Amino acid sequence: MSGVGIHLGFLNCYIAVAGAAAFETIANEYSDRCTPACISLGTRTRAIGNAAKSQIVTNIRNTIHGFKKLHGRTFDDPIVQTERIRLPYELQKMPNGSAGVKVRYLEDRPFAVEQVTGMLLTKLKETSENALKKPVADYVISIPSFFTGAERRYVMAAAQVAGLNCLRLMNETTAAALAYGIYKQDLSPLDEKPRNVVFIDMGHSAYQVSVCAFNKGKLKVLATTFDPYLGGRNFDEALVDYFCDEFKTKYKLNVKENSQALLHLCQECEKLKKLMSANASNLPLNIECFMNDLDVSTVMEKANLQREDISSIEIVGGATQIPAVKEQIMKFFLKDISTTLNADEAVARGCALQCVILSPAFKVHKFSITDLVPYSITLRWKTSFEDGTGECEVFCKNHPAPFSKVITFHKKEPFELEAFYTNLHEMPYPDPRIGIFTIQNVFPQSDGDSSKVKVKVHINIHGIFSVASASVIEKQNLEGDHSDSPMERDAAFKNENKDDVDKLQVDQEEGIHQKVHAEHTPEEEIDHTGAKTKTTPLEKQEQLNQTIKREKSRTAGQDLLNSYIENEGKMIMQDKLEKERNDAKNAVKEYVYDFRDRLGTVYEKYITPEDMSKLSAILEDTENWLYEEGEDQPKQVYVDKLHELKKYGQPIQMKYMEHEERPKALNDLGKKIQLVMKVIEAYRNKDERYDHLDPAEMEKVEKYISDAMIWLNTKMNAQNKLSLTQDPVVKVSEIVAKSKELNNFCNPIIYKPKPKVEVAEDKTKANSEHNGPMDEQGGTETKPDRNPCKYSHLILDKGAMEKR
């Protein structure tokens, strides 16, 4: 069992695995620990990762990359429109207004962003399973901390499309912080002053900063800030612009008009940036302009910390390797940057650790993580009187997360709760709506009073807000006590909000130990009909299955998601079939080349000149066919073709192999015959070693050996008359079988153990030396052959065979 973490980057992805045996970053089939977030679609094939990246320039319109910012957004979203200008492939407006990707794969078709990310995750899943050599069920996937609920939901959907069970969506900076903290042995105990560490993560397209407080076994995010538009690619773009200007002035070339050339230049600039980062020489460009955006001071203000309170500054993300970025950071903190973390891999590693912590299969030491809500969230509902609306902020900005709260309403009928982000201006997303949740099955009490409805809302472990459950409290005791006005209720609710800390308790429901949530039960009364405001022990809570219906949710419905899952399955199958088809085609190609090569060398002797020219022509035709009509055929056609070629090739191959192996087989058989003959001769000469052998049986052996010799000589004589191009008279397998048969027939007779005779000790010893089975050397003492003529014939033939 291992925990697998995926860093789903804008440009590149990393996979880390943590388990009892290992904690490491996984390499893909190119032995590369970094897999480009890139998918290249062909008429029938799709390449994902490294293979796709190499097609960015050659397959411009159908190679998808840079899609991380498209999650959960509409086509008209300003961010989508800004990204669109940068992308060489087409985006498309889906029927519901969301952004999709328009590519050709099998046919022209749009893909939803969930599907595109799903493809990438399929590849990453495959890579991790290949590395671990077993299926992996649970994953933790990283996302930027500024992702809103809609974006998070898209990534969750993509994980489902790829068949990945995502235990948690983890903020990138929080993952890096966990990777930093979990192995630190010198953190102070819980009740002492924590160690404050700043994490600065600048990736390809975004920049995030967080301040975290560490104690032994505990990580608390104190504050975060981010710039979703600043990253390594701004440096690339600055380089690209610089060179475009150069080309324009020096060569009067407009690179930007040629998308292929531009993509090429982009790739070169990315490499150049890396080179320049490795060598702290001066950049030839002015990058100061956007470096001012590296505003770390706000996060320090939010965390209420001074520079002196910071113990260390950790940097992660590819772009933090740029010397100018490092310099800016050091200038602000007046402190050296620490390089404890692997800048590229820390996020994936943190995710893998989180996966291990969350997975019930592991018993690792617990590490509690408290993260923050990045944007405040408000609920709004209609009140029945004076057409008013009620509103309350359920989660304020920087509220600890994950977290649950229970809000009580007094209602006589089903009602809707509209959730939205309170301050649109503080988030990089154009739509504040989160969703509308309908609480159904609400009826008046038997006495006509409102029912007390408890609604549980939470920010779950993925950072997604939702209405989790609702229940109705049944009144058992009626005491008329009319409630206050809605305005006052609102106030009461806010006041209670401050008591969170007193009511902290471990959430048993979801079984996640580091998860803390507050059972917070403010009362909201919207009707004026006189329900109780206080919960009395006489009330009975009944978990009716209140149906919570979610409307306007910004993700694919389950049906659509199922169709995505099914489609991804089909595409995986198509990939497999296409691979098999290609392998079949390559097998034909290889056979043609290999066969031709052998015809000119080892096979030459075994084929007549006529057959040679015929075969050469067939091979030539097949080769031409492969590049013309045979370029694109179903797998079976290639399989048949190979079969046909083998019909020509195999007989030649057979003659060649037979000829190569025959001498050894003949030699073996000859030696065996020779051995038995020596025993026969010794027996005839009354050798005392053999005087116990049965005369009748020895006669059979003699007969057998003489037949075997005739068989061997006949076959060899016949074979010697044949040319190499003819089929052999006798197969190597037959000769080997004959040898075996000879052993089986003769050995039990001639090597029958001598019966034990009670004699002097030294004699027994002498006997035992000769008693065992005779090996080849064993026969050397015996006298010369009784039939030298036959034997020399055998030798002669053997010599003749070897010479050829």
Ligand X SMILES: *[C@@H]1O[C@H](CO)[C@@H](O)[C@H](O)[C@H]1NC(C)=O
Closer to ligand X by Cβ: residue 75 or 362: 75
Judge whether 142 and 8 are in contact, CB under 8 Å: yes
Contact (Cβ atoms closer than 8 angstroms) between residue 132 and residue 69: no
Q: Which residues, numbered 279-338, are part of the site for ligand X (CB under 6 A)?
A: 279, 281
Contact 417, 379 (CB under 8 A): yes
How many H helices and E strands in the chain?
A: 19, 29
Question: 114 or 681, CB closer to ligand X?
Answer: 114
Residue among 41 and 732 whose Cβ is closer to ligand X: 41
Strand partners, 100: 92, 112
The answer to whether the CB of 130 falls within 8 A of the CB of 26 is: no
| Of the residues 15, 47, 101, 112, which one makes contact with ligand X according to CB under 6 A | 112
Nearer to ligand X by Cβ, of 452 and 462: the residue is 462
| φ/ψ bin of 531: left (φ > 0), alpha (ψ from -120 to 50), beta (otherwise) | beta
Nearest to ligand X of 174, 466 (CB atom)? 174
Which is closer to ligand X, CB of 271 or CB of 804?
Answer: 271
Piece in contact with ligand X (CB under 6 A), picked from 134-142, 449-457, 554-562, 578-586 = 554-562
Site for ligand X in 221-240 (CB under 6 A): 224
For the CB of residue 170, give the shortest distance to ligand X in the complex, in Å: 6
- Quote the CA–CA distance of 95 and 334 in Å, as a whole number: 53
Region from 190-198, 457-465, 512-520, 663-671 binding ligand X, contact rule CB under 6 A: 457-465
- Rounded Cα gap, residues 115 and 126, in angstroms: 16
Of the pair 354, 408, the CB lying nearest ligand X is at 354
Q: Letter for the amino acid at 139?
A: Y
Least separation in angstroms between CB 396 and ligand X? 12
Which of 441, 533, 706, 747 binds ligand X (CB under 6 A)? It is: 441
Single out the residue of 35, 122, 555, 622 in contact with ligand X (rule: CB under 6 A): 555
In the complex, the smallest distance separating the C-beta of residue 602 from ligand X, rounded to whole angstroms, is 51
- Helix or strand (DSSP H, E) at 458: strand 451-459
Report helix, strand or coil for 280: coil
Q: To the nearest whole angstrom, how small is the minimum distance from the Cβ of residue 18 to ligand X?
A: 18
Which among 630, 712, 722, 721 is positioned nearest to 672, based on CA atoms? 712
**Which of 461, 607, 701, 716 contacts ligand X by CB under 6 A?**
461
CA distances for 600 relative to 603, 618, 746, angstroms: 7, 15, 46
Distance CA 147, CA 427 (A): 9
- Closer residue to ligand X, CB minimum distance, 178 or 652: 178
- Residue 459 Cβ vs ligand X, minimum distance, rounded to whole Å: 5
Report in angstroms how near the CB of residue 276 gets to ligand X at its nearest: 8
- Closer by beta carbon to ligand X, 98 or else 127: 98
- Binding-site residue total for ligand X (CB under 6 A)? 29
Residue 629 one-letter amino acid: E
| Cα angle for residues 514, 158, 127 (degrees, 5° grid) | 85
Residues in region 89-108 near ligand X by CB under 6 A? 94-96, 98
Q: Report, in Å, the least distance between residue 326 CB and ligand X.
A: 16
Nearer to ligand X, 442 or 526 (CB): 442
Identity of the residue, 212 or 584, whose beta carbon is nearer to ligand X in the bound complex? 212
Query: In the complex, what is the shortest distance from the CB of residue 539 to ligand X, in angstroms, rounded to a whole number?
Result: 18
Q: How far apart are CA 400 and CA 212, in angstroms?
A: 13
Closest CB 384 distance from ligand X, rounded Å: 23
Segments in 188-322 forming alpha helices (H)? 232-251, 259-278, 288-291, 297-303
Nearer to ligand X, 45 or 441 (CB): 441
> SS3 of 195, please?
strand
Q: Which residue is nearest to ligand X (CB)?
A: 463
Residue 596 token pair: 């031709």
Q: Per the structure block, which two tokens stand in for 795?
A: 């030798």
Q: 2, 346, 348, 345: which is closest to 141 by C-alpha? A: 348
Looking at the chain, how many residues does it have? 804
- Closest approach, Cβ 249 to ligand X, in A, equals 23
Q: How far apart are CA 162 and CA 64, in angstroms?
A: 17
Check binding of 272 to ligand X (CB under 6 A): no
Nearest distance, CB of residue 468 and ligand X, angstroms: 14
CB of 144 to ligand X, least distance (A): 8
The residue within the footprint of ligand X, chosen from 485, 508, 541, 545 (CB under 6 A), is 545
Q: How far is CA 392 from the centre of its chain?
A: 43
Helix (H, G, I), strand (E, B) or coil at 141: strand
Site for ligand X in 346-405 (CB under 6 A): 371-374, 401-402
Handedness of CA 289, 290, 295, 296 (dihedral sign): negative
Instruction: Kindly tell me which residue out of 287, 478, 492, 544 binds ligand X, with binding defined by CB under 6 A.
Output: 544
Choosing from 77, 114, 449, 507, the residue that interacts with ligand X (CB under 6 A) is 114
Q: Shortest approach of ligand X to residue 298 CB, angstroms?
A: 13
SS3 state at 704? helix
Does the protein bind ligand X through residue 486 (CB under 6 A)?
no
Q: Which stretch binds ligand X (CB under 6 A): 332-340, 456-464, 590-598, 672-680?
A: 456-464
For residues 147 to 176, the per-residue mask of contacts with ligand X, x marking binding by CB under 6 A and - elsewhere, is ------------------------x--x--
Q: Which of 556, 645, 682, 742 binds ligand X (CB under 6 A)?
A: 556
Q: Which is nearer to ligand X, 451 or 739 (CB)?
A: 451
Nearest to 585 by CA among 505, 640, 541: 640
End-to-end C-alpha distance for the chain, whole angstroms? 61
Taking CB under 6 A as the criterion, the residue among 554, 641, 672, 798 binding ligand X is: 554
Express the helix, strand and coil content of the chain in percent, nearest 5 each.
45, 20, 35
* H or E segment and range at residue 418: strand 415-421
Nearer to ligand X, 555 or 719 (CB): 555
Cβ nearer to ligand X, comparing 98 with 320: 98
- Which CB sits closer to ligand X, 127 or 148? 148
Q: How far is the CB of 394 from ligand X (least distance, A)?
A: 13
Q: Tell me whether the omega of the peptide bond preceding residue 78 falls within 30 degrees of 0, making it cis.
A: no
Q: Name the β-bridge partners of 405.
A: 457
In the complex, the smallest distance separating the C-beta of residue 395 from ligand X, rounded to whole angstroms, is: 9
Asked whether 9 and 22 are in contact (CB, 8 A), the reply is no
Applying CB under 6 A, which part among 459-467, 520-528, 576-584, 712-720 lies near ligand X?
459-467
Distance CA 168, CA 4 (A): 11
Closest alpha carbon to 151 in 374, 401, 369, 481: 374
Shortest reach from residue 522's CB to ligand X, in Å: 21
Closer to ligand X by CB, 56 or 175: give it.
175
One-letter amino acid identity for 305? L
Q: What is the dihedral of CA 225, 228, 229, 230, to 10 degrees?
A: 50
Q: Which is nearer to ligand X, 269 or 401 (CB)?
A: 401
Give the distance from CA 452 to its chain's centroid: 48
User: Does 145 engage in binding with ligand X (CB under 6 A)?
Assistant: yes
CB of 487 to ligand X, least distance (A): 30
Burial of residue 660, with CB atoms counted within 10 A of its CB: 0-12 exposed, 13-18 middle, 19 or more buried = exposed
**How far apart are CB 595 and ligand X at their closest, in Å?**
50
Q: Where do contacts with ligand X occur on this chain (CB under 6 A)?
A: 94-96, 98, 112, 114, 145, 171, 174, 224, 279, 281, 371-374, 401-402, 441, 459, 461-463, 544-545, 554-556, 560
